[in-house]
Structure 1
């Protein structure tokens, strides 16, 4: 597991913000990704919240090899296997089951499992996991939860996702156990629907600038 922990650390350090992406039109994939990359977001989490997620991953892995492309909203092992087949470079789940955690141990592709409680953490901890997605962060305590986790789980790092926004993202990064954050506030649905890729680029750049 050590090499997979190191891989997650490396992509988190590079990404800082992990955009949570829903593809609703296959024609949008490349211009959407190009706009995010131009704005500084080159590590992408393509979710399986639409029917086009896996095809988007395949296309990006072929046409944009300079990007780091992962798959999110993986709910079971069949989705896990499909994400691997599509070329996912990392996998993110909203929660954790024993089956998914065990699949992640066996796979060469790093898994960032979603957790919300100490029991979730301990279930994954015994299998060697040390990096987690706190989701939905705003519902399960946010910054206060991260501060509480820092006591008993001092060697863990988290990617809080859910309710992260321009008003609190900097405060999240001030927590020593935060390695990156996930979110979609820089990807407004109306801007995507309008295919205003210049605006997406601007919003991604502004999101990263908030951290400085």
Structure 2
């Protein structure tokens, strides 16, 4: 693991929660990120589900350097290159695409590929990775599945995403092999489109409080 990857994973671990953001336009990137920071969450995963992703990442890297910004839903090498040029500090994928993983490693952009099986874990280990996304978490066995994986794979840490909410967040964070949890509930598209940044700050603060109680 490179020093850069080690630093990024440490920052994700300290945050405890990674808001998974979908933006219709890059003009809301700054107020959204400021709302997260005000609530105590200095991280955002900007998903490549819209054309605004790369520009949003670039804006945040240039104008709000204190927030850790990653690219989510990265599906191919073209998106890897777009994310890297925009300044993305890490990448997250829904599944395990060896070409995407290899491209990220070559660029020294930390990558958390999506897995939901022991086979996926071993694929990641084959590339020298120490952290992966567990997706879709609740639909794939949730907390009990991660507990089962901790025995054969004690060195791997997980970013469970999918079905995570305040009611089960602490159950995941209590597991020693969980790095942090990804979730959309803090930054739901409805809140973002309505510019409910006050509510986003409140939800971020609530999540940060749950993280603090687990530490």
The question of a shared fold, defined as TM-score above 0.5 by the shorter chain, is answered with yes
Counterpart for residue 172 of structure 1: 172
Q: Equivalents in 2 of 1:186, 1:30: separation in Å? A: 16
How far 1:189 sits from its partner (Å)? 2.9
- SS state of the match for residue 153, structure 1? coil
- 1:206 and 2:206 correspond: yes
Equivalence map 1:3-82=2 (5 Å): 3-82=3-82
Query: 5+ residue gaps in structure 2?
Result: none
Which consecutive segments of 4 or more residues in structure 1 shift more than 6 A? Answer: none
- SS state of the match for residue 210, structure 1? helix
Q: Equivalents in 2 of 1:53, 1:91: separation in Å? A: 12
Q: Equivalents in 2 of 1:91, 1:140: separation in Å? A: 21
Q: Equivalents in 1 of 2:23, 2:187: separation in Å? A: 11
- SS state of the match for residue 167, structure 1? helix
Query: 5+ residue gaps in structure 1?
Result: none
Between structures 1 and 2, the one with greater helix share = 2
- SS state of the match for residue 168, structure 1? helix
Is the contact between residue 43 and residue 68 of structure 1 (CA under 8 Å) also seen in structure 2?
Answer: yes
> Deviation string for 1:179-204 (max 9, x for gaps)?
10000111233322221211111111
Is the contact between residue 32 and residue 197 of structure 2 (CA under 8 Å) also seen in structure 1?
Answer: yes
> Deviation string for 1:72-112 (max 9, x for gaps)?
11001111111101110111111112211222321211111
Is the contact between residue 57 and residue 87 of structure 1 (CA under 8 Å) also seen in structure 2?
Answer: yes
TM-score (norm 1): 0.95
Q: Equivalents in 1 of 2:128, 2:148: separation in Å? A: 21
Q: Equivalents in 1 of 2:144, 2:81: separation in Å? A: 35
Counterpart for residue 147 of structure 2: 147
How far 1:2 sits from its partner (Å)? 4.2
Q: Equivalents in 1 of 2:209, 2:51: separation in Å? A: 33
TM-score (norm 2): 0.94
- SS state of the match for residue 187, structure 2? coil
Q: Equivalents in 2 of 1:115, 1:39: separation in Å? A: 30
TM-align CA RMSD: 1.3
Q: How many residues align?
A: 212
